[in-house]
Amino acid sequence: MPHGCRFPLPLQAQSAFAFLSMPCTGYKCLPEIATSAYGLLAMTNLVAGAVGGVHRNLQLPMALTERRYSQTWNLSAFHFQLSTCQRSPISAAWASLSPHTLVPRNQAGELMDMRKWLTALLAAAMLLAAAPPVRAAGPDIAAPSAILMDAATGTVLYEKNASERLRPASVTKVMTLLLVMEALDTGRIGWDDTVIASEAACAKGGSQVYLEPGEEMSMDEMLKSVVVSSANDCATALAEHVAGSESAFVGMMNQRAQELGLLDTNFVNCTGLDDAPEAAEHLTTAHDIAVISRELLKHDRIRDYTTIWMDTVRGGKFGLSNTNKLVRFYQGTTGLKTGYTSAAGHCLAASAKRDGIELIAVVLHCASSADRFSSAKALLDYGFANYALVSAEMPEPLQPVPVTLGQKAAVQPELQQAAPILIEKGLQAAVTRTVTLAERVEAPVAAGQQLGTLTISANGETLAEIPIIAPEAIERLTWWELTCRLLRRLCMTMPEE
């Protein structure tokens, strides 16, 4: 590097100029801060060459070093020169505005026509503004299998070997809890139920609250024990309470997995324990666990349990401490479930919500508990840092749509759904909303009939198309009603004698 030059010039310009080939020789003697200026210079010369029909030599004054260096780049068919040679009074005046001011010259060394220069500069600036944002690289995590999913839309934001079939350990209980919550919602079991522990449930090993055969526990405390302490005895007792036996419940688990389209998942028990020979077939994927977790989070009441850090059961005699340490140490955590066996490794299905966005991070087969929590946190951090929600609100209130031959003269349109849309944060400023709406419709109009579309886009890319519908049905006028209406109008228009 030459004397007096402290910063190397990057070989590629940023963003929209990355496509330009920039072979160069000699010294590279521009500070890093000039990268964007150089990129603008390159695009400006392309535009100026296209408009003016001639090649340009553009000089860039250098006020950062005492020595004089000259650098030449060949960019496609265009020729650029960055120079610190002796400047004319006019170019010196230009340079006084900024150490990096661009001085346009033609091949004769004369200053370019300022109108052409400003036109080219404006065009280049517009091209630069239209350049698509660069997507941030995904997080570097230790987990061998992982996925990050948006809970609202199911959009996958990051994945790493997410379709690899692995043992999930106690993360299995996400499906167990889903079936219990669905049974509660349908009335198959009740929140006021008392669950009685069987001998089979009490015989389960691993994490437990040490139920005794015949012991009774409320539905609330059973759920709390499963979610907070991963109690295998309580998970089995709940499975038996729902389906009559654990084997019948496992059949329900696999049926529900099929309904969700999870073809890589197979359960052989409701706990995730892998101490039996058939446990080798107890397999799922990070993707499938994320889908199940998303379904579970649709039951708002589950968060009353998944966000507990410490609690007690049996009248305060038995303490519970959450195995998911993110509940205590990660802002916005809403769940969900940890798991560990020597064969499955350390697993975690984690969820968190910030600024209206709820994300699901699943990591499987981690080498240590520290790895699973750090990997999950890195995934969640990545999601919250790079994605945002855009509301599906209308740019202006919708006007009623006239209805021809309807029993009502008009229908007031509304959005079919107003759920927010997940986008990359870099696109927020470029989001536009366009409404197309029928000028008139003919009766009959059905409830839910589409009347138009709200299109949300950014940088020319369609992000969402939301139907605009009729919220109510409007029947068509009968012949009798139509005749009466015509007669009334005739009477109103007849002149008085």
**Residue numbers annotated as active site:** 170, 173, 230
Asked if 468 contacts 435 with a C-beta cutoff of 8 angstroms, the reply is yes
Q: Are strands 103-105 and 57-59 parallel, antiparallel or unpaired?
A: antiparallel
261 dihedral zone (left: phi>0; alpha: psi -120 to 50; beta): left
> Which residue is associated with the tokens 């009968």?
478
> Which residue is associated with the tokens 């300022």?
114
Task: Specify the amino acid at residue 391.
Answer: S
Task: Specify the amino acid at residue 204.
Answer: K
User: Using CA atoms, how far apart are residues 118 and 329, in angstroms rounded to an integer?
Assistant: 54
**Could you give the 3-state DSSP secondary structure of residue 162?**
coil
H or E element: which one contains 126? helix 114-129
- Smallest Cα–Cα separation from 156: which of 329, 288, 64? 288
Rg (CA), the chain: 33
User: Using CA atoms, how far apart are residues 433 and 306, in angstroms rounded to an integer?
Assistant: 38
Peptide bond into 211 cis (omega under 30): no
Residues constituting the chain: 497
> Which residue is associated with the tokens 């359960």?
267
Q: Which two tokens stand for residue 377?
A: 């946190």
Q: Which CA distances in Å does 181 have to 315, 340, 360, 412? A: 24, 24, 19, 38
